[in-house]
Structures are given as C-alpha cells and as structure tokens.
Amino acid sequence: MSKLSRRDFMKSTMAAGAAMALLSPNSRVRGANNDLRFAVVGTGSQGGGHIGLFNGKPGVRVVALCDADQAQVQKRASAFEKKYKQKVKTYIDVRELLEDKSIDAITSATPNHWHSLVTIWACQAGKDVYIEKPVSHEIWEGRKMVEAARKYNRIVQTGTQRRSAESYREAYEYINKGHLGAIKWVRGFCYKPRFKGTNGIVNGTNGPNPVPESVDYNLWCGPADMEPLRRKELHYKWHWVWNTGNGDIGNQGIHEMDLSRWALGDPKLAPRVISIGGRFGVDDAGETANTQIVFLDYKPAPLIFEVRGLPRKKDDRAMDNYRGTRIGVVVQCEKGYFAAGEGGGWIYDNDGKRTDKQFTGSGGSHHQNFIDAVRSRKVSDLNADIEKGHFSSALCHMGNISYRLGKKMSVSEARSCIDNEYLMDSFERMLEHLKVNEVDLEKEPITMGPMLTMDPRKEKFVGEYSDWANMYVKRNYREPFVVPDRV
C-alpha cells in the first residue's frame, strides 16, 4: 500500500508532468520495439474490455493493472497471463502505478466518482488518458479535467465510442447540408431494462453490510464520502447511488446524450434545464431515477432526453421504443427525421416512411483513434477529446440536479408546470408508460424539478434556485482524494 500523502504525491507528479510535457513523443520511455505501454485502472467488466481492446493492438502493450479490489485485480492478472503468455504488474493504489515513468498511458474504467481525480493525477504524471464515460461525477470537476489535459499537453479521450462511428458522422453531415431542412428538435433515448431480474435493482439492508475483505474501501471510495455499505453489492450497483453514480442518464444515457449534442453542432451547456421523473416500481435501495425526462432548452432546437428502466408493460421483458429507437437518437427536421440506434440508422419522411437513405458503421475504431492521437500528439486527431466529453457529461449532471431539487407532485400539478409542447409530449407518453406498468402515482408521486438557468460561460447556475443548484456543481472531497482548484 502506498504511504504517499496527497501533498507528496502532487509535488512529485506535477514536477514529472512538467518535465514530460517538454519531451517529444520519441524521447519518452518506450518498451520493446518502441511499444506504447498502457495500464488499465479499474478491472471490472468494463476494465476487462479495455484490456482486450488495447493489448495486442499494433505497437501497444498492457503492462499494468490496478484496482482497489485485490481479488479482482489478481483474477484479471491471472487471466491476462494465461491468455497472452506474459506477466503484468498489479497495483491496489493508483498513486503507486502513476509513479512508474515507463507507463505512457492509462485507461480508466473506475466508478464515476474517481474519473476526474485519476485523470488529473495521470496528466500531472505525464500520462495520456482514455477515460470512461461520463468523464465526471460533477460539472465542476469535468472542467478541471480539461484544464489538466491542456496544461500538461496530454491526450485525453472520452469513452463515448460512437463519436468514431461512420454512421453518425455521415448522417449529421447529410443533415447539416440542409437535405432535411432545419432541425426542430433532438431526442435521446435510454430505454434499458433495470427491473427485477436485471442489474438495475439495488438490494439494501437496514444496517451496514460488510465490505468484501479483498477491497481497500478507503481507496475504493476515494473522493466520495466513505459511507457505510448499505447495499449487498459493492460493484456495479454504485451507478444507482448518488454518492458514486449518476443514474442511467450518466451510465448508458451519456452515449445518447453525446450523440444528441453532436447533432445540434456540439453547443456548450444549455441555457436552461428541467427534469421530471422518479424511481418507480422497484421498491429498492437505489436513489437515482429509473424513469426520467430532461428538457435542455437550446435555441432554436431543444434537446429532450428520456430514461426508462421499466419494461413496455408490467411483467413483460421487452422495452419500449420511440419510432423504432430504444437506445439511440431521433433528429426531427422540417422535411423528415433521422432515427438511429447502436449500429446506425435511417432517414424517414414525416409520415414515418423509411427512405432509401441509410447510415451504417458502429465506431469500432475509437480505441485506435486514441492510440493514433497518442502517437501524433495532436488533440485535433481525437474524435472525442475530453472537452466534448465534459460538455455532454455536464448535460446529464444538469438534468440530475434539477431532479434532485424537485418536489413530489400530483399529475395535474406537474402538468401545470409544463409550458412547451415537446416536454408535454414526453410527459404524456411517460404517464402512459407508468400506467401500463401499474405504477400508482398517488403512492409513488412524480418528482418535478425546477427550471434552472445556466451561465454556459461560467458553467454555474444563476437566478432562481441557483444557490441550491450550485451546491451540486462541485462536491466536498474527502482528504487526501481532493480534486484541486488549480491543476
């Protein structure tokens, strides 16, 4: 276990980062045959995917694994050595890993609450970073990540891999050329099963549960509050707890939020946001919404995002869809619309008839794109630079902040708070969805968030409710795992 204090660690990494930034790519330490040496931080299911996606790419070797769960990292290391016939270093504390000057880049699949700090520390230590989505747990810390990447001249790629999909790039170019007229609105969808029998239920207890013996819980919590474990599962279910996760809008939904913002031309933060929803029909220890609408008031075309974790009707296993899209986007234009899921999509006319215009391509080159940019040292080569990831992640956080400030309301009270047709359309469809799932909205009322106003330049809320809203823009960090004000 590392005995480094945060002060000692920050002094050493900042000095190393400044020195590394002055070196050319060819003068940095390299392994055999000038290979790029990667380390994977966070070795759960997503981290296991990182190992397979990066190790064995031409000129790339994974040489180290890190996880606060010793059993998990050792399991991955054993599987790695068996599959690839080579040894790999293992770490419990990421600070120890970052001291290794032979490592060129890290990929991080830690829980969300670690994303910002591990990225900043890595940049300060002279490492490039592939960071999973959402890039941040709070709005403020996402901006700190951008600042660190720029200050230390690091290549930082966001794990929104559909940015590398030919289908979306070509479809948006087609739309931007005016073939369908002006965009009227964009909707993003995350209709993903999170009901009984799926991984969406958080089993809780009245008293604290024991943390697995193999886990260094202090390191696992890191920047987050070190709360007693009041759920039976430490791993993955952290997504549905505010202290560590951001709900499904920040888990799966960030992909579609990013696609939606891309469709609008990659604007900065929306000037206004409101959210409606609740955690319905599960009766568990989860905190985040499993049914949610977020309205982002971009002009002239708004972005509306919908989350549904319940099935299309009670006791069904299938999920709803909107114009055939379950997890994806719909871009409504004057002369038709584009509807797409994970593998691409089609252009439709306004009567819902599919045209012969199809866009395909899944974006399998995203990880290679990061490798290529690490070699070229050009941020402009990245398909999903950290600032793009920051803006899209922040939209998810904005919606969650409105939701967390919301009040329980009757259906009629909630309707009276809606002042535009696009949000009302989503709301009425949500009501029907809850009805067929036999949700009693008198026993489980809707949460109606306030309309919040954002200053996109300062990335802070202003006006009514801003004092409360800004309390969620930046969290209180736990020593020594503090995201610094000055990176």
> Tens digits of per-residue pLDDT, 128-168?
999 999 999 999 999 999 999 999 999 999 999 999 999 99
* pTM of the predicted structure, to 2 decimals: 0.94
pLDDT band at 6 (very low <50, low <70, confident <90, very high): very low
Element (DSSP H or E) covering residue 96: helix 94-98
The predicted-structure confidence for 297-333, as pLDDT tens digits, reads as follows 999 999 999 999 999 999 999 999 999 999 999 999 9
Percent of the chain with pLDDT over 70: 93
Burial class of residue 115 in the structure, from the number of CB atoms within 10 Å of its CB (0-12 exposed, 13-18 middle, 19+ buried): buried
Q: Is the pLDDT of residue 421 over 80?
A: yes
Give the CA radius of gyration of the chain: 22
165-218+236-362+385-465 homologous superfamily: Dihydrodipicolinate Reductase; domain 2 (3.30.360.10)
* pLDDT tens readout for residues 394-403: 999 999 999 9
pLDDT tens digits along 24-61: 343 354 444 689 999 999 999 999 999 999 998 999 99
Q: What torsion, rounded to 10 degrees, do the Cα atoms 214, 216, 221, 222 define?
A: -140
Written as six digits, the tokens of 94 are 């990421």
Going along 29-155, which residue ranges are E strands? Answer: 36-41, 60-66, 89-91, 105-108, 128-131
Q: What share of the chain is helix, strand, coil (3-state, %, to 5)?
A: 35, 20, 45
Dig out the tokens for 226 from the structure. 């070190």
pLDDT digits (tens, 9 = 90+) for 76-129: 999 999 999 999 999 999 999 999 999 999 999 999 999 999 999 999 999 999
* Residue partners of 26: CB distance under 8 A and separation at least 6: none
Three-state DSSP class for residue 196: coil
Q: What is the mean pLDDT of residues 280-303?
A: 97
Query: Alpha-carbon distance 58 to 36, whole Å?
Result: 9
Mean pLDDT, rounded, of the chain? 93
213-272: pLDDT as tens digits: 999 999 999 999 999 999 999 999 999 999 999 999 999 999 999 999 999 999 999 999
Average pLDDT over residues 377-387: 98
Q: Which of 100, 111, 2, 97 is CA-nearest to residue 46?
A: 111
